[in-house]
Amino acid sequence: MQAEILTIGTELLLGEIVDTNAAFIARRLAEIGVDLYRKTTVGDNEERIVAALRQALERADVVITTGGLGPTVDDVTREAVARATGRELVLDEALLASIEALFARWGRPMRANNRRQAYIPAGAIPIENPVGTAPAFIVEASQGTVISLPGVPREMRYLLEQAVLPYLQRRMDGQATVIHSKRLHVVGLGESEIDRRLDDLMHWENPTVGLAAKEGQVDIRIAAKATDEEGAERLIADAEARIRERLGKHVYGEEEETLEGVVAALLAGRGMRLAVLESNTLGAVAGRLAATPQGPQVLQSGHLVLAPDEAGRLLGLSSPPERWEALVCREVAERGALHLRRAAGAEAALVVIGHLVAGATLQEQGKGESWVAMAWTEKGGEELAEVRSVRVPMGGIQDPARSRITTRALDLVRRVLG
């Protein structure tokens, strides 16, 4: 079964509210094996809604609409569905009675315009709404099926769960499938390089493999369809094994795992505490670690330095430079990490030192470079500290440079300990 979603509301087109309905419906459709190929948004204009419905019915078996079922004159979904499916609007007495009963239960008078909400296309299957005044309905037409739900998220979700999904599952009896998906998180590789390494996998039809670039990382989505959960999980497991084999340690986690959460768990697992000194990341490394469940356990201290004399003192330099730029180099970062670890009495220390560019334009932001260094020793060790560093070819204190440098710093800790 192929479906499309049509969300209706001028406020959605203007960006006044975020469309959460389509995302919720999409997830629930996938869980019962319905293929969703397209989502469309249209304003509160009857002619445009009719056109969008007719186009969707040419492509899909089922079109699910949300919004436009209220009592006001700009709620025209009922009229549009009736026109698109060649029907008249008729008053459903049972729906009218349910709306009147709802107002009586609330102890409020029912306005005349609420009567409009009891009109549905002739022959439609009515769906009473016990949690709101906007009933839903299903039109089974020769062109296809239209399911119209209210736009209020709480009402939409209730009616989708209680009425629409069971209806669709009955329609799919004998051909029911399940769709499962899994996300893997990747750092240290760009989207184009991942695409090159996974090129053949991304041409698969089942399971499908897709990429989503985010700030400082790339997510890989694996989606599989099968007749049962076990079959879908087997398809995902096979694809995941191939992806991990090709990307190696660049895969840091899956699903809801975060990079800072993985790093904090690694530190906790080794019984290590981390001291952090940051400049152009403005405390983001320590902040992200502190927000994890193990953060208070593994974060020994956090220092934010923006002045060369203070940075020189904390990094253990005998003669701090007058200019900040002299601090941004491998030698200062590595020696500073070794000194910070000893001074803090921690098992590990991380130093992030970079150019403090505060560019006003996108072209200026990110100029310069940053150095990240980590010094560490196993718990109980003192004189056998090791150090590793990495150059990040960008500086600055503004995003996106700041978040990317933060991610590289956390990933260095992960690679050292992983």
For the domain made up of 2-171, the CATH class stated in words is alpha beta
- Pick the closest to residue 5 from 14, 190, 30, 166 (CA basis): 30
Q: Where are the alpha helices (DSSP H) in 270-400?
A: 284-290, 295-298, 308-314, 330-344
Kindly report the average pLDDT of the chain as a whole number. Answer: 91
Q: What is the pLDDT of residues 320-346, one digit of tens each?
A: 778 898 999 999 999 999 999 999 999
Kindly indicate the confidence band of residue 360, based on its pLDDT and cuts at 50, 70 and 90. low
% of residues, the chain, pLDDT over 70? 96
Kindly indicate the confidence band of residue 174, based on its pLDDT and cuts at 50, 70 and 90. low
Distance of CA 42 to the CA centre of its chain: 24
- The yes-or-no verdict on residue 379 having pLDDT over 60 is no
- Pick the closest to residue 136 from 113, 117, 161, 114 (CA basis): 117
Distance of CA 375 to the CA centre of its chain: 34
Average pLDDT over residues 302-319: 91
* b/e code 308-318 from CB counts within 10 Å (16+ = b): beebbebbebe
CATH number corresponding to 178-254: 3.30.70.2860
pLDDT for residue 367: 82
pLDDT for residue 229: 83
Kindly indicate the confidence band of residue 347, based on its pLDDT and cuts at 50, 70 and 90. very high
Kindly indicate the confidence band of residue 359, based on its pLDDT and cuts at 50, 70 and 90. low
- The yes-or-no verdict on residue 374 having pLDDT over 60 is yes
pLDDT for residue 122: 95
Instruction: Say yes or no: do domains 178-254 and 259-417 share a fold.
Output: no
- The yes-or-no verdict on residue 132 having pLDDT over 80 is yes
pLDDT for residue 177: 73
Evaluate whether 408 touches 372 at the Cβ level (below 8 Å): yes
Q: What is the pLDDT of residues 69-122, one digit of tens each?
A: 989 888 999 999 999 999 999 999 999 999 988 888 888 888 888 899 999 999
pLDDT for residue 7: 97
First-to-final CA distance of the chain: 44
Q: What is the pLDDT of residues 18-37, one digit of tens each?
A: 999 999 999 899 888 888 98
What is the β-pairing status of strands 62-66 and 2-8? Answer: parallel
Q: Could you state, in order of their start, the residue ranges of all structural domains in the chain?
A: 2-171, 178-254, 259-417
pLDDT for residue 193: 94
Q: What is the pLDDT of residues 272-293, one digit of tens each?
A: 999 999 999 999 999 999 999 9
Q: Cα separation of 412 and 234, whole Å?
A: 33
- The yes-or-no verdict on residue 39 having pLDDT over 60 is yes
Element housing 79 (H / E): helix 77-84
Q: What is the DSSP annotation of 126-157?
A: EE--TTSS--EEEEEETTEEEEEE-SSHHHHH
Tabulate helix, strand, coil % of the chain (nearest 5). 40, 25, 35
pLDDT for residue 332: 95
For the domain made up of 259-417, the CATH class stated in words is alpha beta
Q: What is the DSSP annotation of 336-347?
A: HHHHHHHHHT-S
Average pLDDT over residues 49-67: 96
Distances, alpha carbon 331 to alpha carbons 338, 391, 411, in Å: 11, 11, 20
pLDDT for residue 383: 59
Q: What is the pLDDT of residues 205-247, one digit of tens each?
A: 899 999 998 888 999 999 998 888 889 899 999 999 999 999 9
Kindly indicate the confidence band of residue 180, based on its pLDDT and cuts at 50, 70 and 90. confident
Question: Between residues 317 and 378, which one has the greater pLDDT?
Answer: 317
Q: Read off φ and ψ for residue 215, nearest 5 degrees.
A: -65, 110
Kindly indicate the confidence band of residue 361, based on its pLDDT and cuts at 50, 70 and 90. low
DSSP state for residue 183 in the 8-state scheme = E
Evaluate whether 313 touches 321 at the Cβ level (below 8 Å): no
Q: What is the pLDDT of residues 236-272, one digit of tens each?
A: 999 999 999 999 999 999 999 999 999 999 999 999 9
- Pick the closest to residue 168 from 147, 154, 192, 184 (CA basis): 147
pLDDT for residue 362: 59
Average pLDDT over residues 344-361: 87
Distances, alpha carbon 330 to alpha carbons 207, 326, 346, 417, in Å: 44, 11, 21, 21
pLDDT for residue 335: 94
Kindly indicate the confidence band of residue 365, based on its pLDDT and cuts at 50, 70 and 90. low
Whether pTM > 0.75 for this model: the answer is no
- The yes-or-no verdict on residue 349 having pLDDT over 90 is yes
